[in-house]
Amino acid sequence: MSRRLSIRLLAGSLSIAMLSALAACGGGDEAPKASAKLAVVTTLAPIDEAVRRVGGDAVTVTNITPVGGQPHELQPSAAAETAMRSAKLVVTIGPFFQPAVSAAVNELPGTVERLDLLGSTDLLRPAKPIRGMRGTVVGAVDGDSDPHLWVSPKRFIASVEAIRDALVKADPSRKAAYEQRASAYVQELGVLDAQFSASLGKCDSKVLLTTHPAFAYLAADYGLTQAVTAGISVAARPDPASLAAVKDYASSKNVETLFFAAPVPSRLAKTVKSGTGLASATLNPVEGLTQDQIDGGRTYLTLMRENLQALVDGLGCEPTAVGQSAPGTTSGSTPATTPGA
């Protein structure tokens, strides 16, 4: 072999070695690095759960309502406002439910995507108490619209689909994964929706009488009528005139149960029973989770099944499909938490 040919071969070998080294160091056709996780801020436990279920390990989620806190009239902390400014997406539930949050969202920079779950749906007007009631309505919301969409599984499915679309818009590179997880979660919610429809189809009473006006969408979607009381709560002695009005209304509508949004103390239950003839029961508006509920693995799905059982018992319904578990509920459902709030 000639000396000139040997030099050319050596030069070619060196060129190949240098190209290989450059590729190993990040040049050439290096595979792209994984995208950073998407930062999302939520303001309500069921919305937090939905974002976690759809986003999976591609998102980091901060629920700015503290664990065990009251989401009504939430005043964002300094840490919560920082989290919102740093987020890629903020998911809220309209201006009437959390007006201070809405005000803070309006001040966010243009780099933050916003999703108002009440912004693209037909809303019901806030409920008024039945005639003859005195005092205030527990949990009443100021404004022209009732924000409690999530308390109906049927409406919550639409919210999950809106969250899916918002995540895809903010992070299109993970579109397929978001759509796959959303489909799985919607399937579970679809089972829950079917259970509500079947179980509330035949009931002795179709009137959902409650001290907390959070169940209008649930009632509308499953063939019930929500009726709201005033002057009766777990925090104060019931107003005698209100008890009398409830008694008259219940007897005219074949109502046997008054639903509270919180566990009813035995003394209050006895007062309600003696003053109205009604049994007392708990119907959870699923607005937030306590630490005990989180530790116990409670989720939107489990709490709504408890609500369904309470309705079946309180309204005298045939218990069709009650007690069934949606596929994947245990392994796929993640309790809402409040990191960094």
Query: Whole-angstrom Cα distance, residue 263 to residue 95?
Result: 28
pLDDT at 170 over 90: yes
The secondary element (H helix, E strand) that includes residue 209 is: strand 207-210
More confident call, 98 vs 19: 98
Query: Whole-angstrom Cα distance, residue 212 to residue 190?
Result: 26
Q: Which two tokens stand for residue 188?
A: 């579970």
Q: Which of 124, 159, 206, 152 is nearest to 50 (CA)?
A: 159
- What is the torsion angle, in degrees rounded to the nearest 10, for the CA atoms of residue 261, residue 266, residue 271 and residue 276? 60
The structure's pTM equals: 0.83
Residue 200 near residue 311, CB atoms below 8 Å? yes
Q: Mean per-residue pLDDT for 208-222?
A: 96
Residue 47 near residue 164, CB atoms below 8 Å? no
Q: What does the longest C-alpha to C-alpha distance in the chain come to? A: 114
What pLDDT is stored for residue 270 in this prediction? 96
What pLDDT is stored for residue 127 in this prediction? 85
Q: Among 24-38, 159-173, 184-198, 230-244, which is the least confidently predicted range?
A: 24-38
How many residues are recorded in the chain?
A: 341
What pLDDT is stored for residue 35 in this prediction? 67
Residue 46 near residue 300, CB atoms below 8 Å? yes
Query: Whole-angstrom Cα distance, residue 64 to residue 164?
Result: 20
- What is the torsion angle, in degrees rounded to the nearest 10, for the CA atoms of residue 234, residue 237, residue 242 and residue 247? 70
The secondary element (H helix, E strand) that includes residue 235 is: none
Identify the band that residue 95 occupies on the pLDDT scale cut at 50, 70 and 90. Answer: confident
Q: Which residues, at least 6 apart from 194, have a Cβ–Cβ distance to it below 8 Å?
A: 321
Report the percent of the chain where pLDDT is more than 70: 82
Cα-Cα-Cα-Cα dihedral sign, residues 174, 184, 182, 90: negative
Residue 288 near residue 65, CB atoms below 8 Å? yes
pLDDT at 28 over 70: no
DSSP structural state of residue 174 = G
Q: Are strands 59-63 and 38-42 parallel, antiparallel or unpaired?
A: parallel
Q: Mean per-residue pLDDT for 204-211?
A: 96
Per-range mean pLDDT, top range of 34-38, 92-96, 194-198: 194-198
Residue 123 near residue 97, CB atoms below 8 Å? no
Identify the band that residue 13 occupies on the pLDDT scale cut at 50, 70 and 90. Answer: very low
Q: Which of 89, 96, 90, 63 is nearest to 77 (CA)?
A: 63
Identify the band that residue 161 occupies on the pLDDT scale cut at 50, 70 and 90. Answer: very high
Identify the band that residue 72 occupies on the pLDDT scale cut at 50, 70 and 90. Answer: confident
What pLDDT is stored for residue 300 in this prediction? 96
Q: Mean per-residue pLDDT for 42-71?
A: 94
Per-range mean pLDDT, top range of 29-43, 134-148, 287-301: 287-301
Q: Mean per-residue pLDDT for 44-48?
A: 95
DSSP structural state of residue 150 = G
More confident call, 193 vs 233: 193
Identify the band that residue 16 occupies on the pLDDT scale cut at 50, 70 and 90. Answer: very low
pLDDT at 104 over 60: yes
pLDDT at 195 over 90: yes
Query: Whole-angstrom Cα distance, residue 323 to residue 279?
Result: 23
What pLDDT is stored for residue 336 in this prediction? 38
pLDDT at 9 over 50: no
CB-CB neighbours of 333 under 10 Å: 19
What pLDDT is stored for residue 337 in this prediction? 35
Q: Which two tokens stand for residue 34?
A: 């994984």
More confident call, 87 vs 140: 87
Query: Whole-angstrom Cα distance, residue 106 to residue 133?
Result: 38
For the sheet with 279-282, list strands across it: 225-228, 207-210, 257-260, 279-282
pLDDT at 42 over 90: yes
Q: Which two tokens stand for residue 100?
A: 């201070």
pLDDT at 134 over 90: no
Q: Mean per-residue pLDDT for 73-83?
A: 92
Q: Which of 211, 276, 281, 277 is nearest to 241 (CA)?
A: 276
Q: Mean per-residue pLDDT for 244-269?
A: 95
Cα-Cα-Cα-Cα dihedral sign, residues 153, 60, 293, 213: negative
